[in-house]
Amino acid sequence: MKRAYDRVMLKLSGEALMGTQEFGIDEDVVVRIAGQIREIVELGVETAIVIGGGNIIRGVAASARGIDRVTGDHMGMLATVINSLALQDALEKEGVTTRVQTAIDIRQVAEPFIRRRAIRHLEKKRVVIFAAGTGNPYFTTDSAAALRANEIHAEVLLKATQVDGIYTADPKKDPDAQRLPKVTYQQVLERDLRVMDTAAISLCRDNQIPIVIFDLLTAGNIRRVVCGEEIGSLVSTSF
């Protein structure tokens, strides 16, 4: 199959790594995700990844339990580092050369984020995993994915989720919810569709980076998206 994109940003939620568990990392799920990523690397796609930390801790949730919000967000950043290292290990076992870069300084386990170095890794067909969000509290990993996508000049932001696209309402709660195959950035913001946080949507809109929301749980979907198949939902300027 021929690729439709040369360089992509893949956003994974921390919850995706849990599988059927209530907490933590399901190694079998990580292996399956790594296998899907290997498929697109073999197509020659330059791949960058941002992973959330919700399977371990969320800053907002920690704050609601009484932890200082900034402290909670820093804990969440460290959770994304754990997830990034787990995915790196699985990718390396698949034969995929990988680098983890962090927005906070943890040189013993990962490189610091340096934009030019990250681009050079991608040019050498190494998968780059960006950990620790933006390095700042109050910013989600969605915002980090949008920011890094712009910095590395990714052609598209792929958000892999547990649903097969954008719906008019939560499909798990509303049986009448309808999937929207294509929507504009403005419609997402005006209708509060909760695809990603508003900062991430605005950043992609301002720099014309399309967003594809699709189901990660279906094997082969990452490859299908990067080959241009119309699965999931596309967020763009106009249609």
Residues 176-194: tens digit of each pLDDT: 888 999 999 999 999 888 8
Looking at domain 7-236, its CATH superfamily turns out to be Acetylglutamate kinase-like (3.40.1160.10)
- The per-residue pLDDT for range 8-20, each reduced to its tens digit, is 999 999 998 988 8
Query: Token pair of 233, please?
Result: 């939902």
Nearby residues of 173 by Cβ (< 8 Å), 6 or more positions away: none
Burial class (CB in 10 A: 0-12, 13-18, 19+), 63: middle
DSSP β-bridge partners for residue 111: 101
Stretch 139-162: mean pLDDT, rounded?
96
Task: Of 129, 143, 133, give the one whose Cα is nearest residue 87.
Answer: 129
pLDDT at residue 239, as a whole number: 65
What confidence score (pLDDT) does residue 222 get? Answer: 97
pLDDT at 204 over 90: yes
Q: Tokens 């983890």 correspond to what residue?
A: 100
Q: Residue 192 CB: number of other CB atoms within 10 A?
A: 8
Other CB atoms within 10 A of residue 191 CB:
12
Cβ atoms < 10 Å from Cβ of 105: 12
- Is the per-residue pLDDT at 133 higher than 90? yes
Rounded distance between C-alpha atoms, residue 144 and residue 192, angstroms = 20
Reported as a single tens digit per residue, the pLDDT across 45-100 is 999 999 999 999 876 677 678 889 999 999 999 999 999 999 999 999 999 999 99
Report the SS3 class of residue 23. coil
